[in-house]
């Protein structure tokens, strides 16, 4: 991997960062607040390896929070973006490439008739919510405690008191009146969803079809199907937030894997392979309500950006044409799960691995995590010790117990075996 010589030390860059950027980072989790210490300052990455400005290297399982499913600096993606860059970085006008990518996405994702490009997962989910409210004429929406859908006001809500809990702001700056339009239900608990449906006319239910923002929590059998039935019964819009699961769990995402079709889908991360791109889409009758075809307003200067579209086309064409990529990632992820689960038994420690495909989390609890409240049983201090021991030994996990690790096609057999060795030692250190 060739890269310019480090221009500064990690400490020096982070000190400068804190002087001009809140918390020294541009997204909170990057500050390593949950695990302590100062964050790394990345110089470059390639394949499964990330290198910081001090020349230290880690096997990376953050994987740009799931975006780089083919590994960092994938040669095909780099070449595609370089070639697109030479033709201009942005036009603010229609290009054929963004049409080709839309056609590919509609072909790959089972429930999509049409799609609209945006530049972040937050834009995708906030737009899908506006569309659902417009389509139904209703204001209230249901989300699940522990699920994260980006930072739009309607999603930054915490469970209030009471059975069908009307949300209360989970951040300063979110108006009570808006937060109260979001009702909180419990993941994998259809009764809590039924209560919310009884409380208000519901525009939409938005759900991570595999939860990845409370750690990896799979949907239990019947959960997604139950949401589908309730939304159909009440004339509400079912939104699958597949920003994390889209194109990762299968070419058609979680909706292909589980065979449940939402009305709207939000996508991000893999869709641009790390270049800012996201999308929302779904049934033609809904998407035709979006401006300028319809009257639901949504816009974006860099939507369908040529560089992001070039990266996305290269990535999704590969994933569509080479399904064996998923088989390989599944094999490596299953090996990681088995190796770590064996280590947990051998060490006799209260920990467990939860995994769906290439999304996995090591919980510092031996109790199954099936909804957000179950994470209370996890020992966050033990996770911080586990993370730090792994980090010091060359494996970079997501720096929070409430995140998901991501395996990519660049994580090869030897890398996986070495990871198991490192994480086994880290588990031991976390509990001794």
Residue ranges binding ligand KE4 (CB under 6 A) = 27, 29, 65, 120-122, 125, 148-150, 208, 212-213, 241, 243-244, 268, 278, 403
Nearest approach in angstroms of CB 400 to ligand KE4 is 8
SS3 content of the chain, % helix, strand, coil (to 5): 40, 15, 40
Nearest approach in angstroms of CB 348 to ligand KE4 is 31
Asked if 238 and 231 touch (Cβ cutoff 8 Å), the reply is yes
Alpha helices in 109-262 (DSSP H): 121-136, 176-179, 190-199, 223-234, 253-258
Judged by beta carbon, residue 244 or residue 308, the one nearer ligand KE4 is: 244
Which residue is associated with the tokens 């059998």?
221
Judged by beta carbon, residue 278 or residue 303, the one nearer ligand KE4 is: 278
Q: Hey, what are 67's tokens?
A: 């975006």
d(CA 96, CA 146): 39
Nearest approach in angstroms of CB 332 to ligand KE4 is 21
d(CA 27, CA 29): 6
Nearest approach in angstroms of CB 262 to ligand KE4 is 13
Q: Please give the DSSP secondary-structure letter assigned to residue 31.
A: G
Judged by beta carbon, residue 164 or residue 267, the one nearer ligand KE4 is: 267
Dihedral-angle region of residue 215 (phi above 0 means left; psi in -120 to 50 means alpha; beta otherwise): left
By beta-carbon distance, which residue lies closest to ligand KE4?
A: 121
Nearest approach in angstroms of CB 428 to ligand KE4 is 28
Neighbours of 323 (CB within 10 A): 10
Judged by beta carbon, residue 274 or residue 339, the one nearer ligand KE4 is: 274
Closest of 302, 266, 307, 264 to residue 282, by C-alpha:
264
Judged by beta carbon, residue 146 or residue 339, the one nearer ligand KE4 is: 146
d(CA 88, CA 86): 6
* Active site residue ranges: 148, 241, 269
């Amino acid at each position: 991997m060739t890269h310019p010589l480090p221009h500064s030390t990690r400490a020096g860059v982070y000190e400068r960062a804190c002087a001009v950027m809140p918390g020294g980072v541009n997204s909170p989790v990057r500050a390593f607040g949950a695990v302590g210490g100062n964050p790394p300052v990345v110089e470059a990455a390639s394949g499964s390896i990330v290198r910081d400005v001090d020349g230290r290297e880690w096997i990376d399982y953050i994987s740009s929070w799931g975006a780089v499913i083919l590994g960092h600096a994938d040669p095909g993606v780099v070449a595609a973006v370089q070639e697109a860059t030479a033709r201009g970085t942005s036009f603010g006008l229609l290009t054929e490439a963004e049409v080709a990518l839309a056609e590919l996405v509609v072909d790959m994702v089972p429930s999509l008739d049409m799609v609209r490009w945006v530049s972040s997962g937050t834009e995708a989910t906030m737009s899908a919510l506006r569309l659902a409210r417009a389509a139904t004429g209703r204001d209230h929406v249901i989300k699940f405690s522990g699920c994260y859908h980006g930072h739009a006001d309607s999603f930054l809500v915490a469970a209030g008191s009471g059975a069908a809990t009307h949300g209360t702001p989970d951040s300063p700056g979110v108006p009570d009146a808006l937060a109260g339009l979001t009702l909180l239900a419990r993941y994998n608990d259809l009764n809590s969803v039924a209560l919310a449906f009884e409380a208000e006319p519901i525009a939409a239910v938005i759900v991570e079809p595999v939860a990845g923002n409370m750690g990896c929590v799979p949907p239990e059998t019947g959960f997604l199907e139950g949401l589908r039935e309730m939304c159909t019964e009440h004339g509400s819009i079912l939104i699958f937030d597949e920003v994390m699961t889209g194109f990762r769990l299968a070419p058609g995402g979680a909706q292909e894997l589980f065979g449940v079709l939402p009305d709207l889908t939000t996508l991000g991360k893999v869709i641009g392979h790390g270049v800012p791109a996201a999308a929302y889409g779904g049934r033609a009758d809904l998407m035709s309500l979006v401006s300028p075809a319809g009257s639901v307003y949504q816009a974006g200067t860099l939507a369908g950006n040529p560089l992001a579209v070039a990266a996305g086309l290269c990535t999704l064409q590969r994933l569509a044409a080479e399904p064996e990529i998923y088989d390989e990632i599944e094999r490596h992820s299953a090996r990681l799960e088995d190796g770590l689960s064996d280590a947990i038994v051998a060490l006799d420690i209260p920990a467990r691995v939860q995994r769906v495909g290439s999304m996995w989390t090591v919980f510092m609890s031996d109790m199954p995590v099936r909804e957000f409240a179950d994470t209370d049983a996890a020992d966050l201090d033990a996770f911080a010790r586990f993370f730090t021991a792994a980090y010091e030994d060359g494996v970079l996990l997501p720096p929070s117990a409430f995140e998901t690790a991501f395996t990519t096609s660049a994580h090869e057999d030897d890398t996986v075996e070495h990871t198991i060795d490192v994480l086994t030692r880290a588990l031991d250190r976390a509990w001794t």
